[in-house]
Amino acid sequence: MNKEKISANNINVHYGDKQALFDINMKMNEKEVTALIGPSGCGKSTFLRCINRMNDVIDICKISGNITVDGQNIYSKDTKVERLRENIGMVFQKPNPFPKSIFENVAYGPRIHGTALDKTDLEEVVVNSLKRAAIFDEVKDRMHESGTSLSGGQQQRLCIARAISVNPEIILMDEPCSALDPIATAKIEDLMGELSKDFTIIIVTHSMQQAARVSKKTGFFHMGYLIEVGPTEVIFSNPENQKTQDYITGRFG
């Protein structure tokens, strides 16, 4: 049983007058994959984006409650949001590599945070990140081509490499495979298994089979509420809440 890494306490999120999340309390453990599932509009992506404070860029979004990472409240006034995001990486639903070269995509993070000592060090960081994201072999001969010239699945792995280039502890993935074909999806799921040995991964997914395959712990969201959270085998074989069962067996409606 891994120890706790992230703890969300009484999280309430409002978009203007509309409330999107109601009193969410959830704990996520380190170096394992936690899945967030639920129907469209249930608030799981909103919750995910609270963890790295990406919701800050939306003016009408108001968040109350707190989220602690290793015991530190990330919503406190002294938190530097750029440092937070250095520690918590994010991969998005539609792969969004920068329209720069593959090398530059991965080098950008270390550059702005100053984590590489010199040119050779930077190159090493880039190569390692690409290797850990299981894409180095496919791009090693074209590091200076544009990141957007890759296929969808490759672009997503490039984005993963970009996220890990700054050595985060946590990686957030917002439906990372929904725009990809089954083979590309399988490669990323495999990668997730490898990465979870070193990183804490939180993944939002529409596919219950995916959640069942990759995660250790699953949280089920519905209409802004966290209905049930528990070990994945329990949630998918015999959940406690009837709503959870109705959703995972496709009875919702």
Residue closer to another protein (CB basis): 12 or 149: 149
Measured torsion, CA atoms of residues 228, 7, 156, 20, in degrees rounded to the nearest 10: 60
Task: Please identify, among the stretches 69-77, 193-201, 220-228, 234-242, the one whose residues bind another protein according to the rule CB under 8 A.
Answer: 234-242
CB of 10 to another protein, least distance (A): 25
8-state DSSP, 26? E
Task: Please identify, among the stretches 23-31, 69-77, 96-104, 130-138, the one whose residues bind another protein according to the rule CB under 8 A.
Answer: 96-104
Q: How far apart are CA 160 and CA 141, in angstroms?
A: 19
CB of 135 to another protein, least distance (A): 16
Q: Pick the binder of another protein from 46, 52, 154, 210 (CB under 8 A).
A: 52
Cα dist. 32→6, 43, 47, 64, 152 in Å? 12, 22, 18, 27, 26
Q: Pick the binder of another protein from 19, 29, 79, 96 (CB under 8 A).
A: 96
Residue closer to another protein (CB basis): 21 or 48: 48
Task: Tell me the residue type at 179.
Answer: A
Q: Pick the binder of another protein from 15, 22, 75, 108 (CB under 8 A).
A: 108
8-state DSSP, 79? -
Residue 21 interacts with another protein (CB under 8 A): yes or no: no
Q: Name, in order, each residue with C-beta under 8 angstroms of 11's C-beta and a sequence gap of 6 or more.
A: 21, 23, 24, 25, 47, 50, 63, 64, 65, 66, 67
Q: Pick the binder of another protein from 5, 44, 85, 222 (CB under 8 A).
A: 85
Per-residue contact flags (x/-) with another protein for residues 185 to 224, judged by CB under 8 A: -----------------------xx--x------------
Residue 72 interacts with another protein (CB under 8 A): yes or no: no
Show contacts of 138-141: CB within 8 Å, 24+ apart.
139/102
Q: 90 - beta bridge partners? A: 172
